[in-house]
Amino acid sequence: MVSALNNIKVIDLSRILAGPWASQMLADMGAEVIKVERPIKGDDTRFWGPPFVKAATANQPPQAAYFHCVNRNKQSIAIDISKAQGQQVIKDLIMQADVLIENYKVGGLKQYGLDYESVKKLNPQLVYCSITGFGQHGPSANKPGYDAMIQGEGGLMSITGEPEGMPMKVGVALVDVMTGLYCSNAILAALMARHHTNEGQHIDIALLDVQVAALANQGMNYLATGENPDRLGNGHPNIVPYQTFATQNGSIILAVGNDNQFRKFCQVAQCPEIADEPEFATNEQRVINRNTLIPIIAGKLVLHTTQWWVEQLEHVDVPCGPVNTLDQVFNHPQVKHRKMVRQVSNKQGDLIDTVSSPINLSATPLQYHSASPDLGQHSKQVLSQWLNYSDEKITQLYLSSIVS
Q: For the segment 54-83, what is each residue's pLDDT rounded down to a tens digit?
A: 999 999 999 999 999 999 999 999 999 999
Task: Confirm whether 221 is domain-assigned.
Answer: no
CA 103, CA 159: separation in Å to the nearest integer?
A: 28
CA 167, CA 159: separation in Å to the nearest integer?
A: 7
Residues 306 and 342 grouped into a single domain: no
Residues 144 and 53 grouped into a single domain: yes
CA atoms within 13 A on the CB side of 181: 13
Residues 194 and 290 grouped into a single domain: no
Average pLDDT over residues 287-307: 97
Residues 142 and 50 grouped into a single domain: yes
User: Between vectors from CA 83 to CA 77 and to CA 84, what angle results, nearest 5°?
Assistant: 100
Are 190 and 127 a contacting pair, CB within 8 Å? yes
Last residue of a domain, one of 296, 323, 350: 323
Residues 259 and 360 grouped into a single domain: no
The confidence score (pLDDT) of residue 22 equals 98
Q: How many domains does the chain have?
A: 2
Query: What tens digit of pLDDT does each residue of 249-262 get?
Result: 999 999 999 999 99
Residues 381 and 258 grouped into a single domain: no
Query: What tens digit of pLDDT does each residue of 102-159 get?
Result: 999 999 999 999 999 999 999 999 999 999 999 999 999 999 999 999 999 999 999 9
Query: What tens digit of pLDDT does each residue of 14-43 get?
Result: 999 999 999 999 999 999 999 999 999 999
Give the contacts of 304 (CB within 8 A, at least 6 positions apart): 247, 248, 312
Q: Which is nearest to 19 in space by CA: 35, 38, 3? A: 35
Helix, strand and coil content of the chain, in percent to the nearest 5, comes to: 40, 15, 45
Residues 88 and 130 grouped into a single domain: yes
CA 108, CA 61: separation in Å to the nearest integer?
A: 25
Task: Confirm whether 331 is domain-assigned.
Answer: no
Q: What is the four-CA torsion angle of 64, 66, 68, 69, rounded to 10 degrees? A: 170
Longest dimension (CA), the chain: 85
The confidence score (pLDDT) of residue 2 equals 86
Query: What tens digit of pLDDT does each residue of 317-368 get?
Result: 999 999 999 999 999 999 999 999 999 999 999 999 999 999 999 999 999 9
Are 27 and 6 a contacting pair, CB within 8 Å? no
Task: Confirm whether 220 is domain-assigned.
Answer: no
Residue 159 is part of which domain span? 9-214+338-400
Bridge-based pairing of strands 320-322 and 341-345 is unpaired
Residues 57 and 174 grouped into a single domain: yes
Last residue of a domain, one of 288, 323, 358: 323
The pTM is what?
Answer: 0.95
CATH code for the domain of 76: 3.40.50.10540
Average pLDDT over residues 189-206: 98
The residues that are catalytic are 176
CA 252, CA 255: separation in Å to the nearest integer?
A: 10
Residues 190 and 81 grouped into a single domain: yes
The confidence score (pLDDT) of residue 1 equals 76
The confidence score (pLDDT) of residue 372 equals 97
Q: What is the four-CA torsion angle of 292, 296, 297, 299, rounded to 10 degrees? A: 140
The confidence score (pLDDT) of residue 123 equals 98
Burial 7-29 (b: 16+ CB within 10 A, else e): ebbbbbbbbbbbbbbbbbbbbbb
Q: Please tell me the total number of residues recorded for the chain in this structure.
A: 404
DSSP-assigned letter for residue 45: G
Task: Confirm whether 199 is domain-assigned.
Answer: yes
Beta strands in 295-367 (DSSP E): 320-322, 341-345, 351-355
CA 35, CA 99: separation in Å to the nearest integer?
A: 12
Residues 125 and 101 grouped into a single domain: yes
Task: Confirm whether 371 is domain-assigned.
Answer: yes
Q: Is the dihedral of CA 245, 250, 255, 259 positive or negative?
A: negative
Task: Confirm whether 2 is domain-assigned.
Answer: no
CA 26, CA 10: separation in Å to the nearest integer?
A: 8
